[in-house]
Structure 1
Amino acid sequence: MTETHKKILFKYYSTYLEEIVSETMWAEIIDSEKGYYKLDNIPFFGPLIATDDIFRAEYDEDEKCFIHKETIENSGNSIIQILILQEGFDKEIIREKLKTINCVSEALNDTFLAAEIVKSVDYSIVKSLLDEYESLSVIEYAEPCISEKHRADLMKN
């Protein structure tokens, strides 16, 4: 059977954790000879990469795996991180609201999730939802990887 995906190691400084972190994510193999891959995961801790971005990775002898080297092409998707501040608040409420505006999310635990905003979604709608919850001190959110398209969405309004 032909291999279609590969686990790739990403190493970067996380402002959330305030340390260098390693995160392993799945990527679709685009061109194995050139080392080109397309990210197929939602990053949790915020390397400057989003789902469907094309990047280059190469095998690292020290790490004994493939490691991200550079992003080649941005997909236009964005990644946001959400921290639940209010004790007892069900993260699924936020996840469902995000899903209704076509934003998929993954939960790391009960208080931390990462969400993908695809290029076609108007980011100003997402941001107003997040701002509403943040103003109520229910959540805090970060925007580690906002695409040019989503920055432009905010300028229109």
Structure 2
Amino acid sequence: MAGEESEQLVKVFFELEQDEDGYPPVTCESMWATPVGNGLYRLGNIPFFASGVAYEDVVSAVRRDDGTRGFVEVVRPSGHSTLRVIVYEASEVPALRQELEALGCDTELSHIPNLMAVDVPPAVPLDSVRSLLETGTASERWEYEEACLGR
């Protein structure tokens, strides 16, 4: 039944291209998603490496030969933004997470030490998040990148 299918989480796989330095450190990233019908899925994770997608985006995916679902495109952007932060000192990670969460962001920690994915919901001013992250970048406490800006 379609209703039952929409309640089950599935994985959507994103193929990644590495640059000359081997970044990202993986060639494929999977994210949990909720089927919403007609080959469309609402992302339920903050991406760590995939660019151009964000939490709660609705994406299309196709069933691949191995039975997995491969990302095709963003169909309905959620308005969320995705940022990634690599913190140089592990002891600074908890405080930075608290500061980001106080601004209204959600964060997820990677299996890679000190790597954090940041979700900036549409209601959170991106400039306030950038200001915080730029301050830490200027003082060489971390680096960050904007992987997807809400639209």
What's the secondary structure of 1:2's corresponding residue? helix
The letter of the residue matching 1:7 is K
Q: Runs ≥4 in structure 1, deviation > 6 angstroms?
A: none
In structure 2, do the counterparts of structure 1 residues 88 and 23 end up closer, same or farther at CA, with 3 Å as the change threshold?
closer
Name which of 10, 27, 35 aligns with 2:14: 10
Greater strand content: 1
Whole-angstrom distance in 2 between the partners of 1:73 and 1:21 = 25
What do residues 27-63 of structure 1 show as CA deviations (whole Å, max 9, x unaligned)? 11100xx2011111000013210011111111101x3
Q: 1:22 aligns with which of 25, 28, 34?
A: 28
Alignment of 1:31-70 (within 5 A): 31=37, 34-61=38-65, 63-70=66-73
The answer to whether residue 93 in structure 2 is matched with residue 91 in structure 1 is yes
> What percent of counterpart residues are identical?
26
CA distance in 2, matches of 1:14, 1:106: 22
SS of match in other structure, 1:137: coil
Instruction: Give how far 1:73 is off.
Output: 1.1
Structure 1 residues 106 and 135: CA distance shift in structure 2, 3 A:
same
Q: Is the 8 A contact 1:56 1:72 kept in 2?
A: yes
Cα-to-partner distance string for 1:130-149 (whole Å, 9 max, x where unaligned) = 0111111000000011124x
Q: Is the 8 A contact 2:90 2:113 kept in 1?
A: no
| CA-atom RMSD in angstroms | 1.9
CA drift of 1:14 comes to 4.9
Count of paired positions? 144
- Alignment counterpart, residue 144 of structure 1, candidates 108, 130, 147: 147
CA 1:97–1:45: 2 relative to 1, 3 Å = same
Is this contact kept in 2: 1:57–1:70, CA < 8 A?
A: yes
Structure 1: segments with no counterpart, 5+ residues? 149-157
2:53 match: secondary structure: coil
TM superposition score normalised by structure 2: 0.87
Deviation, 1:7, is: 1.0
Pick closer, same or farther for the CA change 1:99–1:20 going to 2, 3 Å.
closer
